[in-house]
């Protein structure tokens, strides 16, 4: 590629890092909004998603233009593809953060027991850790760190199972009704899916470095939101 195209690729990389930093900061913010049932904070976070949507779409468009106009090859082509794919995972994760904030509005006034609150906090923390490690692996081109994200996701899956058990316990004890139980179940799914998108990002880092997508491939399930996410969002409506 010529110097102009090379500089554009570097700027795309920088913008991807900036957008992902915004996402990483939003995950614990959404968790606290949910725990506090902060209606004002929820509205702010929901509206802020428009900016991430716009920025990730622009990243994808610029990557397509770069590939069409400059025909990059080898590592530079992999880098453009990686940025385009990762931006889609970031956008989807931001949508999931919004969904968590919407749950805060739906359960407003409902008291959650300490065990459920604790697990929500731990899921939010682990989801943030996953994305932080995935994007740091990209920034540093750190292959071992990128590979480690898969194992870290196992702990988030474990927390998800623990939370589902706590929902059944609370519902059986009569502390939450069925509608709240459903909202909590889909909330756990939102955190799990954020973790899956972080794994996708880490897999594309591995692709960027090695030229190969690792076994397990891409956790996406079709569409801009992903088929699985659309079904879960429907339950939460």
Render pLDDT for 112-160 as a digit per residue (tens, 0 to 9).
Answer: 999 999 999 999 999 999 999 999 999 999 999 999 999 999 999 999 9
What pLDDT score does 223 carry? 36
- Three-class SS of residue 42? helix
Query: Residue 220 pLDDT more than 80?
Result: no
- CATH code of the domain covering residue 167: 1.20.58.220
Structural domain boundaries, residue 40:
3-236
> At which residue do the structure tokens 């027991």 appear?
113
Rounded Cα–Cα distance for residues 58 and 235 (Å): 30
**CA neighbor of 105 nearest in space, from 167, 41, 166:** 41
Total of domains in the chain: 1
Rg value, the chain, Cα = 19
What pLDDT score does 234 carry? 53
Rounded Cα–Cα distance for residues 42 and 130 (Å): 23
Q: Could you tell me if 120 and 159 are in contact, meaning their C-beta atoms sit under 8 angstroms apart?
A: no
Q: Sign of the C-alpha dihedral, residues 21, 22, 25, 31?
A: negative
Whole-model pTM over 0.85:
yes
């Amino acid at each position: 590629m010529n110097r102009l195209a090379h500089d554009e690729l570097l700027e795309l990389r920088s913008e991807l890092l900036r957008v992902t930093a915004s996402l990483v900061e939003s995950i614990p913010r959404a968790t606290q909004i949910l725990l506090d049932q902060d209606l004002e904070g929820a509205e702010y976070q929901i509206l802020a998603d428009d900016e991430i949507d716009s920025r990730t779409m622009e990243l994808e468009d610029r990557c397509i233009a770069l590939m069409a106009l400059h025909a990059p090859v080898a590592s530079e082509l992999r880098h453009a593809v990686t940025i385009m794919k990762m931006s889609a995972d970031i956008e989807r994760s931001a949508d999931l953060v919004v969904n968590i904030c919407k749950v805060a509005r739906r359960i407003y006034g409902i008291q959650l027991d300490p065990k459920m609150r604790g697990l929500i906090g731990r899921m939010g923390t682990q989801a943030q850790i996953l994305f932080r490690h995935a994007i740091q692996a990209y920034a540093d081109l750190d292959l071992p760190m990128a590979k480690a994200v898969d194992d870290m996701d196992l702990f988030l899956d474990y927390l998800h199972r623990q939370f589902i058990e706590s929902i059944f316990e609370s519902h059986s004890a009569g502390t939450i009704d069925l509608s709240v139980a459903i909202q909590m179940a889909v909330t756990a799914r939102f955190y799990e899916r954020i973790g899956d998108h972080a794994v996708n990002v880490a897999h594309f880092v591995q692709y960027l470095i090695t030229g190969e997508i690792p076994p397990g491939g891409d956790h996406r399930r079709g569409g801009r939101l992903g088929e699985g996410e659309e079904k879960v969002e429907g339950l939460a409506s």
